[in-house]
Amino acid sequence: MSPTAADFEHATCPIPIADYPHVLLAHGGGGRLSQMLVERMFGAAFSNPALDERHDGAVLDLPQGRVALTTDAFVISPLFFPGGDIGSLAVHGTVNDLAMCGARPAALTAAFVIEEGLPMDDLWRIVRSMAAAARGAGVPIVAGDTKVVDRGKGDGVFITTTGVGVVPAGVHVSPRLARPGDRVLLSGAIAQHGVAILSVREGLRFETEVRTDSAALNGMVAAMLDVGGDRVHVLRDPTRGGVSSALNEIAQAARVGIHIDESAIAIAEPVRGACEILGLDPLYVANEGKCIAIVAPEAANAVLAAMRAHPAGAEAAIVGGVREGPAGKVFMRSRIGGERVVDMLSGEQLPRIC
């Protein structure tokens, strides 16, 4: 009998390791091995009524409202990093994209492209982590697909998650809605995810381990919308490209100027140290558990309080404001009182020479 969702978390890999220590091409071939992988691993770990139907797709009863739909491909290397892995990231990323639309996430699907030879135990670790992340966010994984590609044609595993959610009545969130006078709220310390990944990828060690901030934000966002309603104008998770790219996109979409204050933006000491050493600007480094909210001034304090009441937003702060102009630009007041433009990232940030 398959383990149930409640007792699988510490369970050992359900695929007999002695028989299959590594994923084989046949595990994606549609035959008996495929079925074993789907039933014993994915089906057991993700078990929920819609998935347990074992239909070609999931049939869902959604609450009333506008439907939000998003998809994201996760190709991260390394697969495991301090504080998370590709599995938890694939769940958090898509849940957060839905939340940033103002939607309550209702369900996810997951497609796995696995490279032949991936250790079965690694796959099990990833699946278990996905299941835990989905349960933590309260969003079921209701359908999925698995393919196995030849060794050398993938990077361990690629995961694509698609999410569907419902935007409640009275919620209108869009980057175009930022207005002069609005406040800019940021849910916590920046640049953790990017630095955590870089430190593993490049074998860099710091005195304190930097962990990813990867987290589901739908709970916090629901609380923010409960108190802020349609006075929450913009929500955005500053992932790739960091806070600066997210703010620039908003400034351009709404044709407004965004002004932020460097000293109001929290950065953990080890993250700041790593960025100083490597020559990276933390404003351009990725986050996976942070939210920027642009909120009407009269609602800013209530929304900030809702953020701070949630573990994902304990360090939330008002970091700036929206002005008429210069349209499409982001400005930052530096720590010493100077002012500069914060531009979009061009290309990748590359570590400097000296």
Partner 1 sequence: MKFVDEYRGEAETKQLVAALRVRVTRPWTLMEICGGQTHTLIKFGIDRMLPEGIELVHGPGCPVCVTPLEQIDRAVEIARRPGVIFTSFGDMLRVPGSRTDLLSVKAGGGDVRIVYSPLDAVKLARANPARQVVFFAVGFETTAPANAMAVHQAAHLGLENFSILCSHVLVPPAMEALLSAEDNRVQAFLAAGHVCTVMGYHEYPAIAARYRVPIVVTGFEPIDLLQGILMAVTQLEEGRAEVENQYTRSVTFRGNEPAQRLLAEVFEVCDRAWRGIGGIPRSGWRLRAKYAGFDAESRFDVSGTTAPESPLCIAGQILRGLKKPHECSAFGVQCTPEKPLGAPMVSTEGACAAYYQYGRRG
Nearer to partner 1, 6 or 336 (CB): 336
Is residue 98 within 8 A of residue 140, CB to CB? The reply is no
Rounded Cα–Cα distance for residues 274 and 271 (Å): 5
Rounded Cα–Cα distance for residues 143 and 51 (Å): 6
φ, ψ of residue 88 in degrees (nearest 5): -65, -35
Nearer to partner 1, 63 or 338 (CB): 338
Nearer to partner 1, 298 or 339 (CB): 339
Least distance (Å) between residue 348 CB and partner 1? 8
Is residue 106 within 8 A of residue 67, CB to CB? The reply is no
Rounded Cα–Cα distance for residues 267 and 336 (Å): 17
Provide the H-helix boundaries in 187-286: 192-201, 218-228, 242-254, 269-278
Structure tokens at 104: 């309550």
Residue ranges binding partner 1 (CB under 8 A)? 202, 204, 269, 272-273, 276, 278-279, 329, 334-343, 346-347, 350-354
Nearer to partner 1, 276 or 324 (CB): 276
* 72: Cβ contacts below 8 Å, ≥ 6 apart: 90, 93, 94, 97, 160, 161, 162
Least distance (Å) between residue 82 CB and partner 1? 19
Nearer to partner 1, 224 or 258 (CB): 258
Nearer to partner 1, 226 or 261 (CB): 261
φ, ψ of residue 38 in degrees (nearest 5): -65, -45
Least distance (Å) between residue 39 CB and partner 1? 41
Least distance (Å) between residue 111 CB and partner 1? 26
How many Cβ atoms are within 10 Å of 60's Cβ, its own excluded? Answer: 12
Nearer to partner 1, 35 or 334 (CB): 334
Is residue 94 within 8 A of residue 70, CB to CB? The reply is yes
Place of tokens 């359908």: 143
Rounded Cα–Cα distance for residues 39 and 285 (Å): 39
Least distance (Å) between residue 190 CB and partner 1? 15
Least distance (Å) between residue 329 CB and partner 1? 7
C-alpha closest to that of 312 among 173, 216, 184, 203: 216
Least distance (Å) between residue 222 CB and partner 1? 36
Nearer to partner 1, 59 or 354 (CB): 354
Least distance (Å) between residue 68 CB and partner 1? 32
